[in-house]
Structure 1
Amino acid sequence: MEKDLTRHATAGTEENEDDRAGSGAGPVKPVGDPTLLDPHLDQAIQFEHSLTFTQACKLYPAAIGWSAFVSLGVIMLAFDPQLLGNLYAMPRFKLDFGYEYEGEFIISAPWQTGLSMGNPIGQVVGALGAGYPMEKYGRKSTFGACVILTAALIFIQFFARSLEVLLVGELLGGLVLGCYAVIAPTYASEVCPLAIRGILTSYVNLCFVIGQLLGNSVCAGTSKLDDHWAYSIPFALQWVWCAIILGGFAWVPESPWWLVRHGRNKDAEVVLRRLASEKVDIGQTLAVIVETDRLEQELEMGSTYWDCFRGVNLRRTEISVGVYCTQVLSGIYLINYGTNFFNLAGLPTDQAFNMGIGFLAVGFLGTIVSWPLIVRYGRRTIYNSGLALLVVLQLIIGILDCIPDRPSNVVWAQSSLMLIWNFFYDISIGPVCFVIISEASATRVRSKSIAVATAAQGALGCAMTVAIPYMINPDQANMQGKLGFFFGGLAGFCLVWAYFRVPETRGRTFEELDILFERKVPTRLFGEYVIDHGTARGDNPEDL
């Protein structure tokens, strides 16, 4: 029998006078009073839905700024594996750390695998490890601790003069870097209003692209140096981001959702006032947070890792895991080996570095182009159509590789198609993934749900990190462009899954999403399902 989702006071709930939500106009309505709660919440929900993107930017400039600031950690997360992928093509690094093969120095596939495992392993262990401190100590404290640890572990990478020492630095550093992939989208979704939530959660993808682009650009600039500074300078530049973050860390606001869940309503009200302009009714915003948390408690959604797989949360976790893993299965890990891939495909070293930079530059442009599309067309349409296009592009790359003797114009055509592939990846499944994992998860288990999705993506990343060097290295499979068949096929399976499982979450408050998932609304009906906020009852899916 369906649970009654009509708003009412939670039995036994008591509020101190100081913890009542209110701001600006008149007396504060107690959150536990059922006769006063609905009108206040209805006004807040109507305000959320009526707010345009431009209005939200004007009313919440601080929320936008702090969300972008916390996402800087993702730049460090993306910079590190991109740096390693470029080092494998850097002449001085190969000379100092590699061995001679057919007249050229290379880094062996086993060592490429070992060194590159630090980041995906970190996403598995670090992401799962981040869930507990994020819930116990808050998003801000966890973020600060991770930045301090990252700054300390960079010393190992900077002073490494052997592959063994560098491996230790990458593994330890990766454990901390994996936390940023959980912190950033969680924080962005919890400090921003509905109208800009999609943009700021997708901004996480732009930070990935920025980190990768900087990794390529720095290595392209230092690759011509003929001493250890060719690779030491890129490692040292990671301290710049740590210094920037630590310089502004003291002023970072805590997540108001986390504060409410820990009974600190007064602190949450102060934070909400910092995040919004004086024109925003903070009392309404706080009431929505309190009510959404109460609703999830009523629905027994819990707040542990086990709760991510219980009841209705299982479907929500599946969606988060699926969209994140699709990134790996569609071929995104090739970016970490982009320069090396272009080099082995037949491009000269200089042109391979330039192509690697261009590869990421179009990704940067693609992410920005995705923002108006996300606002206008939502999540499901962009995700599925973009994924379908990626499948086609990968298969074309594979077909071109079957041309006998692979003339030079084919190599350039494949490289150009990879640029186009990355552009559409960063229009669709790249940024939209972070929007979906932030919206599909319940607020009480959001950090843990995103952690599970990140860990699953990292586990697949480990498999790809093992496999890709063996697939592209000349002393191994030397598949070159035939990788298009491999990733195109995997992406095709992901497309079938996404069509049947990824719903449209655009324009829904977190409370509305709780109701939609609780009622097991079919995927295809999510976007048009009607909820009556007076009773929290909607039409049955069968009646639509």
Structure 2
Amino acid sequence: MHSPPNTNDLSEKPNFRDDVNDHMDAKGELNIVAQAKLATETEHALTTLEAIKAYPMAIFWASVFATSLIMVGYDSGIIYSFYALPAFVKKYGTNYGGDIGYEVSAKWQNVLGMGTPVGQFLGAFTASYPMERWGRKKVFGVSLFFTTAFIFLQMFASNVQVLAAGEFLAGVLYGTYVVLAPTYASEVCPVALRGILNAGMNLAYVIGQFIASGVGKGVSTRTDQWAYRIPFAIQWAWIPLLVVALWFAPESPWWLVRQGRNDEAVASLRRLVRSSSNVDVHATLAMIEATTLHEAEVEKSVSYLECFRGSNRIRTEVALMVQTWQVITGISLIGYAVYFFELAGLPVAASFDMGVGNTAIGFVATCTSWFLMAYFGRRSIFMTGVAVMAVSLILIGILDCLPNYSARPGLAWAQAGLLDLLTFIFQGTVGPINFVIFAEIGATRLRSQTCALAASTGSIFQIIMTVAVPYMLNASAANWRGKTGFFFGGLSALATVWCWFRLPETKGRTYEELDYMFEAGIPVRKFKNYKFETLDSQEVHDTV
């Protein structure tokens, strides 16, 4: 690979085409660099529709791995809806008497709520090593096996302590899925599909929450132990299907190349593309090899420490911050939607109905994000999302401050409407785009480490929010109700400022191009319009 562009003179564009003769080997055939660059131009030329037609199996297998996030969304959604479920509250809660009655204390809401994020932190942080050592498929299979066992522990928990242990242990595996699914999708899909399929990670998460809301609504009138055991048992439904699909799934070609198993990488690439397409799998392999070799020259190792050296430092910052903003700008409040509706004064049945509607809105919004990504970049979508969320959250807080709030039920419905709007904005912008950015921002050799750091950082802030939010909302604690919007609205405003100064545009860039742009020190606000000097690939062919 040629040297990176001059970092002191941004007018000197990095040239992806050296002299044509430099691309020829002794037999006059295109060498690995030329093939890699032709593959790069081929990817740029693919439209979304063409990519869908050329890579149908890549879409399918990425979707299989993404399905694991349905379990993550379901688990987080179902535990929060339990706090408004009378049978669950009587089993694991405390009778405070008076107007409060049975309630799972803020302390145990924290412990139960923290079980999954603490487990996810540990699972995400430790996921990169086994993923790089044994590959994506084997780690996925082992994770499914242990998930099956830990669901059993949740379902038959005899007390709140055992239930908390089950939540933690299941969370360890869920953290692995959060790293594994976007990493795999980024490694099997072309540039044109990378954003859509990584945004689909959020869709899987929303589907899980939607199912959880529907299940919660379905068991809300039950008064026996099965009111909360049935929802836990439903988590087993996905595992047999995933195990069968995983048996036939191809391994990541990027991982296989790093292991020196190029023949297997070619076979994997052939399984990802339609045989009748014009995609040259050998050129694609060359692009993977060239990018991997270049990064091996620049990076000293594939350790976590390498993520904070040189040009990788800002890439890691971006991955960590988009995941942090995703957690602390609204999703924590959205996760408590059913409970929030009940505290705002809506009846229990209406609260569950609104909760189901809220997750349905999230589903539609995530699908909307696919169309947004076709016309707008990651930077503009994410930044606009947090800005609009800031306004919505502050309005929720203002409504709670109006006189005679408790005697004016219309205000509660207005807050519920704004929370639905907040959900639509979040799930259409910040939620899915977060997965896209942190999955593609890191160097390819450090992708699993970058994703692991981002997911772990998100888990840390989720733990913080899990501790804080119950105390903000609970009638037996701060009882902020809608005033919680001021807190999250302020954080969303800070996120908007950060995006303006620190979030680069990565839409339409291959991993090789991103490597050169970060190494060149291109200002993040110039990423969108930055152009590389290229030589038409036809000229290269004409010289052979």
**TM-score (structure 1 length as normaliser):** 0.92
Q: Which residue of 2 aligns with 1:53?
A: 48
State how far apart, in whole Å, the 2-side matches of 1:269 and 1:141 are: 19
Q: Which residue of 2 aligns with 1:88?
A: 83
Q: Which residue of 2 aligns with 1:459?
A: 460
Which one of 52, 61, 69 corresponds to residue 66 of structure 1?
61
Deviations 1:490-542 (A, max 9, x none): 1111111111111111111000000000101001110111112459xxxxxxx
State how far apart, in whole Å, the 2-side matches of 1:344 and 1:350 are: 13
1:378 Cα deviation from its structure 2 partner: 1.6
1:260 aligns with 2:257: yes
Counterparts in 2 of 1:55 and 1:127: CA distance versus 1, 3 Å: same
Secondary structure (helix, strand or coil) at the match of 1:346 reads coil
State how far apart, in whole Å, the 2-side matches of 1:35 and 1:99 are: 73
Counterparts in 2 of 1:54 and 1:264: CA distance versus 1, 3 Å: same
Q: How does 1:92-111 map to 2 (within 5 A)?
A: 92-103=87-98, 104-111=101-108
State how far apart, in whole Å, the 2-side matches of 1:506 and 1:446 are: 17
Secondary structure (helix, strand or coil) at the match of 1:532 reads coil
State how far apart, in whole Å, the 2-side matches of 1:486 and 1:145 are: 40
Deviations 1:218-255 (A, max 9, x none): 01101111210100000000000112111222111111
Q: Which residue of 1 aligns with 2:471?
A: 470
Check the 8 A contact 1:301/1:444 in 2, yes or no.
Answer: no
State how far apart, in whole Å, the 1-side matches of 2:296 and 2:246 are: 32
Which one of 130, 134, 137 corresponds to residue 133 of structure 1?
130
Q: Which residue of 2 aligns with 1:14?
A: none
Q: Which residue of 2 aligns with 1:539?
A: none
Q: Which residue of 2 aligns with 1:515?
A: 516
Counterparts in 2 of 1:97 and 1:36: CA distance versus 1, 3 Å: closer
Check the 8 A contact 1:8/1:34 in 2, yes or no.
Answer: no
Q: Which residue of 1 aligns with 2:208?
A: 211
1:38 Cα deviation from its structure 2 partner: 3.8
State how far apart, in whole Å, the 2-side matches of 1:324 and 1:375 are: 22
Deviations 1:134-174 (A, max 9, x none): 11111111111111110011111111121111111111111
Q: Which residue of 1 aligns with 2:36?
A: 41
State how far apart, in whole Å, the 2-side matches of 1:268 and 1:490 are: 44
- Give the stretch that moved more between structures: 334-343 or 70-79: 334-343
Q: Which amino acid aligns with 2:489?
A: G
Q: Which amino acid aligns with 1:55?
A: E
Q: Which residue of 2 aligns with 1:374?
A: 373
Secondary structure (helix, strand or coil) at the match of 1:174 reads helix
1:309 Cα deviation from its structure 2 partner: 0.8
- Give the stretch that moved more between structures: 485-494 or 245-254: 245-254
Counterparts in 2 of 1:100 and 1:294: CA distance versus 1, 3 Å: same
- Give the stretch that moved more between structures: 118-127 or 230-239: 118-127
Check the 8 A contact 1:41/1:284 in 2, yes or no.
Answer: yes
Check the 8 A contact 1:7/1:34 in 2, yes or no.
Answer: no
Q: Which amino acid aligns with 1:108?
A: S
Check the 8 A contact 2:330/2:389 in 1, yes or no.
Answer: no
Counterparts in 2 of 1:30 and 1:404: CA distance versus 1, 3 Å: farther
Q: Which residue of 2 aligns with 1:21?
A: none
**TM-score (structure 2 length as normaliser):** 0.92
Check the 8 A contact 1:119/1:175 in 2, yes or no.
Answer: yes
Q: Which residue of 1 aligns with 2:291?
A: 292
1:387 Cα deviation from its structure 2 partner: 1.2
Secondary structure (helix, strand or coil) at the match of 1:528 reads coil
Q: How does 1:66-465 map to 2 (within 5 A)?
A: 66-103=61-98, 104-278=101-275, 279=277, 280-300=279-299, 302-406=301-405, 407-465=408-466
Q: Which amino acid aligns with 1:344?
A: L
Deviations 1:393-451 (A, max 9, x none): 01111111100121100000000000011101111111111111112111000011011
Check the 8 A contact 2:39/2:287 in 1, yes or no.
Answer: yes
1:480 Cα deviation from its structure 2 partner: 0.3
Secondary structure (helix, strand or coil) at the match of 2:95 reads strand
Q: CA RMSD in A?
A: 1.9
State how far apart, in whole Å, the 1-side matches of 2:271 and 2:45 are: 22
State how far apart, in whole Å, the 1-side matches of 2:108 and 2:135 are: 37
Deviations 1:285-331 (A, max 9, x none): 11110111011112226311111111111100000001110011202
Q: Which amino acid aligns with 2:497?
A: V
Check the 8 A contact 1:301/1:313 in 2, yes or no.
Answer: no
State how far apart, in whole Å, the 1-side matches of 2:225 and 2:400 are: 36
Secondary structure (helix, strand or coil) at the match of 2:221 reads coil
Unaligned runs of 5+ in 2: 6-13, 19-23, 537-544
Check the 8 A contact 1:386/1:425 in 2, yes or no.
Answer: yes
Check the 8 A contact 1:31/1:37 in 2, yes or no.
Answer: no
Unaligned runs of 5+ in 1: 10-28, 536-544
State how far apart, in whole Å, the 2-side matches of 1:227 and 1:360 are: 26
1:3 Cα deviation from its structure 2 partner: 4.2
Q: Which residue of 2 aligns with 1:26?
A: none
Q: Which amino acid aligns with 2:380?
A: T
Counterparts in 2 of 1:35 and 1:253: CA distance versus 1, 3 Å: closer
Check the 8 A contact 1:30/1:37 in 2, yes or no.
Answer: no
1:488 aligns with 2:483: no
Check the 8 A contact 2:119/2:172 in 1, yes or no.
Answer: yes
Indicate the percent of aligned positions where both proteins have the same amino acid.
44
